[in-house]
Amino acid sequence: MRNKISQSLLVIAGGVLFSLVFWQEKLGINTVLFDAFILTAIFYLYARARQNAVVRWLLVGHLICLAMIVVHNTVLSKIAFATTLLLIVGFAEYVHRSAWFAGGSVILNIIFCIASFGEHFKPARASGKKRKRLSKVIRFAIFPLILLVVFFFIYFSSNSVFQAIANSIDIYLGKFFHALFDVFSPQRLLFLLFGVYVTGCLLMRSKIDFFVNREKNRNDELQRTRTSWRQRLARPSFQIIEAVMGRFAKGTLALKNENTTGIISLFLLNALLLVINLIDISYLWFDFDYMGEVFLYKMVHDGTELLIVSIVLAMLVVLFFFKGNLNFYKRNKWLRYGAYAWIAQNCILVVSVLLRDYYYIARYGLAYKRIGVLFFLLMVLVGLTTVFIKIWKQRTAYFLFRVNAWAGILLLVLASTVHWDELIASYNIKHKDRVPLDAQFLLTLSDKTLPLLQANMEAFKQRQTTVQENLSDVSGTSWKNGVPYPCDTCFAATIAVRTNAYLEKQEHLSWLSWNYADAVTTRSLRKHPIH
């Protein structure tokens, strides 16, 4: 009971703190204050979590993300911060090994937060007599009150003196509420309730252990299970096999037939992929002239997306063949070799996609999607490695998803340590002699790039002249976030407008929003003002 009381008190205190530090502010040093409160509360309420190794590792990652919010203040660092915090909640409050299941439990926390909160407000058991008396008073009051309201408004409309008295009271009340709402505005109140809700989601464990029970029986190592024909027939995967193989999918030779189909499939797929890889190696890997006007865009842009789909499909094909008893079939040697060759060939394909991306970056500069492809390929390599381990060491799909989720979290934390906008802007501007300056794209990058854009104003002016010479009609003023932008191709003016809007926005923020990125940007922009 004491713990319950302290839990609800902590939730309300967290809500008040949330409202105080985040109201009309952006994420900055205030995040450190709120996060310190939340982490302390979690480790106080769920003391066992302090000994949990997974929670400790997550805490390290989370603190890195928190530091990155203060240092870089990028969207990615905020996403990584929220993800790691939610995972800490999942692992601290429930018994989990997989991030997927922990995530599921956190979703239950979010759905049932209100119910968990409501639990703490069970009506006090008043004595029967007391309750009856209170209920009597309420019930006796309803009808007279309704009558009072009705007659009040009738007399109000019919008697001018009464109306004047009522109006003067109304004016006083209006002044009182106006003054009250100046301090406690309805928006502020809603924000406070939102803060209580957010804190509740983080601190209050839901009573539903759906995902805990689901994960309890899962293992990393594949166990051979004997299933009856009736159970096997009911499986969707079996129905697919049966649709293709007909009667060969049933009977005592079913596993052998499945093995043979798998070997033939993997042999044909390997042969096809070998041709593709040979073409890529001979054409792309050595002496490829990416600066020439070949069909680079089509080959790289369209090709990359399709190849990524093919690699993901390849992993699914292997998982399909190694989903059940074929893992334990004594004569699955060739099927396994076929799968290994398929994985190895897909790794070569990853290198080809990587080269395509590299050429594209070297030719057209950095962009979000091009960096995203690099991360995706890294994840694909991890995925292919884990698929190999799954077949080699006979591991379950649970193992596969669990390990890949951790790889994804690690990558997210590492990715949050770089200010990608700054990197993109500096790379593209540095290579502007070789890479065409995509001014419109650079102007969409975050405010931290403004000093860099300002320092290269001449380049933008030149680009503006070139672009406008080729245009017959220059568009007029447009509005973005309440700020008037001169025109789509007025790059220099847009930088000036954005700089002024940024500095004006900074004026309204307090020390709670402080972060290193904004501090450096503001200092630099104030040192070199644009007129």
Binding residue for another protein, selected from 146, 165, 274, 362, defined by CB under 8 A: 146
Does residue number 7 form part of the binding site for another protein (CB under 8 A)? Answer: yes
Do 34 and 69 contact (CB within 8 A), yes or no?
Answer: no
Least distance in angstroms from the C-beta of 87 to another protein: 18
Please name the amino acid found at residue 21: V
Cα 94 to Cα 52: distance, rounded to the nearest angstrom: 11
- Pick the closer one to another protein by CB: 149 or 272: 149
- Pick the closer one to another protein by CB: 46 or 460: 46
What's phi and psi for 207, nearest 5 deg? -85, 0
Stretch near another protein under the rule CB under 8 A, chosen from 107-115, 298-306, 388-396, 402-410: 107-115
Binding residue for another protein, selected from 53, 123, 183, 472, defined by CB under 8 A: 123
Q: Which residues have a Cβ under 8 Å from the Cβ of 145 and sit 6 or more positions away?
A: none
Cα 423 to Cα 448: distance, rounded to the nearest angstrom: 11
- Pick the closer one to another protein by CB: 123 or 476: 123
Least distance in angstroms from the C-beta of 306 to another protein: 37
Do 29 and 514 contact (CB within 8 A), yes or no?
Answer: yes
* Residue 145 structure tokens: 């009150």
Least distance in angstroms from the C-beta of 194 to another protein: 12
- Pick the closer one to another protein by CB: 97 or 235: 97
Q: Which of 348, 336, 313 is nearest to 393 (CA)?
A: 336
- Pick the closer one to another protein by CB: 188 or 461: 188
Cα 371 to Cα 145: distance, rounded to the nearest angstrom: 67
Kindly report the number of other CB atoms within 10 A of residue 501's CB atom. Answer: 17
Does residue number 240 form part of the binding site for another protein (CB under 8 A)? Answer: no
Does residue number 526 form part of the binding site for another protein (CB under 8 A)? Answer: no
- Pick the closer one to another protein by CB: 35 or 119: 119
Does residue number 149 form part of the binding site for another protein (CB under 8 A)? Answer: yes
| Cα dist from 92 to 1, 40, 105, 465, 531, whole Å | 20, 12, 11, 58, 54
Q: Which of 202, 224, 220, 207 is nearest to 98 (CA)?
A: 220
Least distance in angstroms from the C-beta of 207 to another protein: 5
Stretch near another protein under the rule CB under 8 A, chosen from 22-30, 98-106, 118-126, 431-439: 118-126
Cα 107 to Cα 86: distance, rounded to the nearest angstrom: 9
Least distance in angstroms from the C-beta of 124 to another protein: 11
Stretch near another protein under the rule CB under 8 A, chosen from 203-211, 256-264, 396-404, 465-473: 203-211
Does residue number 169 form part of the binding site for another protein (CB under 8 A)? Answer: no
Q: Which of 189, 193, 196 is nearest to 12 (CA)?
A: 196
Does residue number 143 form part of the binding site for another protein (CB under 8 A)? Answer: no
DSSP code at position 52: -
Stretch near another protein under the rule CB under 8 A, chosen from 17-25, 58-66, 151-159, 215-223: 151-159
Number of residues counted as binding another protein (CB under 8 A): 30
Does residue number 207 form part of the binding site for another protein (CB under 8 A)? Answer: yes
What's phi and psi for 187, nearest 5 deg? -65, -40
- Pick the closer one to another protein by CB: 119 or 242: 119
Least distance in angstroms from the C-beta of 479 to another protein: 17
- Pick the closer one to another protein by CB: 207 or 331: 207
- The H-assigned helical ranges of 431-487 are 439-442, 450-455, 457-470
Do 64 and 369 contact (CB within 8 A), yes or no?
Answer: no
Q: What is residue 485's three-state secondary structure?
A: strand
Does residue number 205 form part of the binding site for another protein (CB under 8 A)? Answer: yes
Do 291 and 363 contact (CB within 8 A), yes or no?
Answer: yes
- The H-assigned helical ranges of 365-448 are 368-392, 397-415, 420-430, 439-442
Do 474 and 468 contact (CB within 8 A), yes or no?
Answer: yes
Binding residue for another protein, selected from 18, 22, 117, 238, defined by CB under 8 A: 117
- Pick the closer one to another protein by CB: 175 or 434: 175
Does residue number 176 form part of the binding site for another protein (CB under 8 A)? Answer: no
Least distance in angstroms from the C-beta of 106 to another protein: 15
Stretch near another protein under the rule CB under 8 A, chosen from 202-210, 250-258, 337-345, 389-397: 202-210
Q: Which of 68, 129, 117 is nearest to 415 (CA)?
A: 68
H or E element at residue 44: helix 29-45
Does residue number 116 form part of the binding site for another protein (CB under 8 A)? Answer: yes
DSSP code at position 32: H
Q: Which residues have a Cβ under 8 Å from the Cβ of 435 and sit 6 or more positions away?
A: 363, 364, 365, 428
Residues between 18 and 77 that touch another protein (CB under 8 A): 44-47
Stretch near another protein under the rule CB under 8 A, chosen from 146-154, 176-184, 323-331, 449-457: 146-154
Binding residue for another protein, selected from 35, 97, 119, 388, defined by CB under 8 A: 119
Does residue number 214 form part of the binding site for another protein (CB under 8 A)? Answer: no
Does residue number 172 form part of the binding site for another protein (CB under 8 A)? Answer: no
Do 284 and 307 contact (CB within 8 A), yes or no?
Answer: no
- Pick the closer one to another protein by CB: 111 or 234: 111
* Chain contacts with another protein (rule: CB under 8 A): 3-4, 7, 44-47, 93-94, 112, 114-119, 121-123, 146, 149-150, 153-154, 156-157, 205, 207-209
